[in-house]
A and B are shown apart, each in its own frame.
Chain A
Amino acid sequence: MTDKLNDAHQARYSRQILFHEIGERGQGRLLASRVTLVGCGALGTVLANTLVRAGVGFVRICDRDFIERNNLQRQVLFDEDDIAANLPKAEAAARKLRRINSGVTVEGVVTDVNHTNIERLAEGAHLLLDGTDNFETRYLINDLAVATGRPWIYGAVIGATGMCMPIIPGETACLRCVFDEPPPPELTPTCDTAGVIGPAVNIVASFQAQEAIKILTGRSDALIRGLMNLDIWTGRNTIVNVQPGFEKGDCPCCKRKRFDYLDGSAGSRATSLCGRDAVQIDPRRDGGRTNFEAVAAKLRGIATGEVLQNAFMVRCTVGEYDITVFADGRAIIKGTADVETARTVYAKYVGA
């Protein structure tokens, strides 16, 4: 990476260069660096905005979704014109960011990031960034990062709570050292069931961006080592030492080199049901039964009408979709034949 700056760079990034932990050398490194951002919702827009303004030379933004009006409260790169134009998030973000900083390269990729394409999407990236909204994709990013020895930064937010953890493979605990398996979807709230506030998003993503800048400027020595647990509403913020999980644990990913999400042996499956305008989502849980009470409680807050529940399934309507969740964790999303739409509905309302 180069640390030679031209006059335009000196002028544009002068305040950041003056910060002596970065300086000219760090700014040069930022300009020569490449990142892949997976997910461009709340965290992703703040991350992309911060890093493009900071002068990260190449930012690839991957997202599968379109912008909805309820996104505007916290997804800082989008506006009402983007909704009127029916722009996908990746494209709307890329257009906005190019107007913010024409001196760097921003690439928007409208895609569902999965085990078949993540290696290509992350090609050449020095750092992977987590702007996603579900566990499965995070475990996929973790697998790729560990398998290829590249750093990534976990970030997540719900309500007023968030977490952030920089992960340097081979040096710090990875996501599976800390949380070795994702939870059953119905036991964790999502932003669409429990809400989320803008300040929490901005703070968590800003921590992610800060750690990213440290890594990209060659200042990994200054990383916050551990899992940041941020409760913005109460001010109860902690940094937890998770290093024993790396040093003493038997992590399936970074110790046993099992990349279950990257090789496709773990993770959900989605199948469009022929002629039914419906998609089946199978989270492929190992034997555990769905907690119907938790599913029903979550859906009652958002369902259009009654939430039906018996020993075999929970069923309700949310907007234009009929959602049926079965005891083995499978769900049928009726109202769409599109797999990605169904995945999004499942992640939003059943769990992610």
Chain B
Amino acid sequence: MATMTVELPSVMSWVTRDLNFSLEAETLREALDRIRAHHADVAIHLFDETGGFRPHVLCFWNGTNTRWLDDFDVPLGKRDTLMFMQAVSGG
């Protein structure tokens, strides 16, 4: 099982102090499922009621926008990263 690093945007520091954490998963789909299951305080900001990404959230798997992936059942490597970005509204 691969260990993946998850990076949350610092704009989410009002939600959690753990902006970086690790999780173990075999596939990208499993990693996302684990975030939903074990990080509920964070997940509500990343995923909508159907489990899909919220429209203002971008998720990058090793730098690739997951929105353009055909399939999330891709095997994870040892040093994979999942980086989330969230649209910012202030100004």
Contacts and interface: CB of A to CB of B under 8 A. Distances in A.
Interface of A: 39, 41-44, 130-135, 138, 155-163, 178-183, 187-191, 193-194, 196, 227, 229, 231, 233-234, 236, 238, 240-242, 244-245, 248, 288, 291, 294, 297-298, 351-352
Given A135-B56, A231-B9, 18 more contacts: A131-B91, A134-B89, A163-B87, A163-B88, A179-B58, A180-B55, A187-B44, A187-B54, A188-B88, A190-B89, A227-B85, A233-B10, A241-B65, A245-B67, A297-B14, A298-B14, A352-B89, A352-B90
Contacts of A157: 88, 90-91
What 6 A-B pairs have minimum CB-CB distances, sorted nearest first? A183-B56, A156-B88, A158-B90, A181-B55, A191-B90, A43-B91
A105 B86 CA distance: 37
Contacts of B7: 236
Q: Main SS of chain B's interface residues? A: mixed
Contact of A133 (B45, B67, B86, B90): B90
B14 A193 contact: yes
A183 B87 contact: yes
Contacts of A190: 89-90
Interface residues of B, number: 26
A188 B89 CA distance: 8
A161 B54 contact: no
Given A193-B14, A194-B11, A194-B14, A135 B55 contact: no
A188 B86 contact: yes
Interface in B46-82: 48-49, 54-56, 58, 60, 65, 67-68
A294 B44 contact: yes
Given A194-B14, A291-B44, A158 B89 contact: yes
Interface string B8-19: 011101100000
B87 A179 contact: yes
B44 to A, nearest CB: 7
A196 B56 contact: no
Contact of A240 (B45, B56, B60, B88): B60
18 contacts: A39-B91, A42-B90, A131-B91, A138-B89, A158-B89, A160-B10, A180-B55, A182-B56, A183-B55, A183-B56, A188-B11, A189-B14, A194-B90, A229-B9, A229-B85, A231-B9, A244-B68, A245-B65
